[in-house]
Amino acid sequence: MKKVGSTFVCFLLSIFMVCAQQKAPKFRVIALYENGGHHIDYSKAAIVWLDKLAADNNFAIDYIQNTDQIDDQFLSQYQLFIQLDCAPYAWKEKAAAAFQKYITEGRGGWVGFHHATLIGEFDGYPMWNWFHDFMGGIRFKDYIATFAKATVNIEDKHHPVMKGIPSSFPVQKEEWYTYDKSPRPNVQVLATVDESSYEPDSKIKMNGDHPVVWTNPHYKARNIYIFMGHSPILFQDKNYTRLFSNAIFWAVEK
């Protein structure tokens, strides 16, 4: 009886260990988003979508609304940093230093959206020169405040982030930014917006090369910037959500 009991106990322990392994998250993500302003609806929709994606794919995700907690120790918990509509200024000094190390040393991946290219001098804060270089040396110039529909064209169809995405797809509502120049000489462009497809048309254009998705291969961390990220209706677009999920799973890999 003792032998049978011992075998049964071992069986239960094995089941417990398997279950514990299955429940352990594959990786951990930290997502930084703004705690107010007109991007909050996008962030709220993103959180709902991200929580489901995390549950369905067995990864953990935490959220913060400012950079107060960020330092080396804090970031060491996470394999991916998502910057949801959070501008690259007004960061705590220790947070900026820790983030730079995280990216330059490849301690984790990064996926950034929309407001991450609001680069320049804003609200009395100087330009974050390191982030300016990270984003390809661009400076924010203007934006379509009244919004426009437009077509995004995939340029690098073979990049893993573009898997399962058609060669072009419409974005129904966006406040397309313009920059002082194209980041192309300093980054790998994955997609551009066709400015001739703006509905309604706008004079606010880069008049030519207008990248909206890119990665900077000059940094150890896998990184993807996706410009589209203002309206919550983006999460009703299967091409956008596929792009977002592809970016997460690619960037988190070493």
pLDDT in tens, 37-60: 777 899 999 999 999 999 999 999
Could you tell me the fold of the domain covering 27-251? Rossmann fold (3.40.50)
The pLDDT assigned to 34 comes to: 85
* Number of other CB atoms surrounding residue 162 within 10 Å: 21
pLDDT of residue 85 exceeding 60: yes
Task: Using CB atoms within 10 Å of the CB of residue 136, give its burial: 0 to 12 exposed, 13 to 18 middle, 19+ buried.
Answer: buried
* Geometric angle at alpha carbon 247, from 36 and 92, rounded to 5°: 40
The pLDDT assigned to 39 comes to: 78
- State mean pLDDT over 101-128: 97
**Ordered strands of the 211-215 beta sheet:** 60-64, 28-33, 80-84, 109-113, 223-226, 211-215, 188-199, 148-154, 168-174
What is the average pLDDT score of the chain? Answer: 92
pLDDT band at 6 (very low <50, low <70, confident <90, very high): low
* Beta-bridge partners for 64: 32
The pLDDT assigned to 15 comes to: 44
pLDDT digits 0-9 by tens, 219-233: 999 999 999 999 999
- What distance, in Å, lies between the first and last C-alpha atoms of the chain? 50
Residue type, 1: M
CA dist., res. 43 & res. 85, Å (int): 7
The pLDDT assigned to 130 comes to: 98
Report the percentage of the chain scoring pLDDT > 70.
Answer: 90
pLDDT band at 7 (very low <50, low <70, confident <90, very high): low
- State mean pLDDT over 132-142: 98
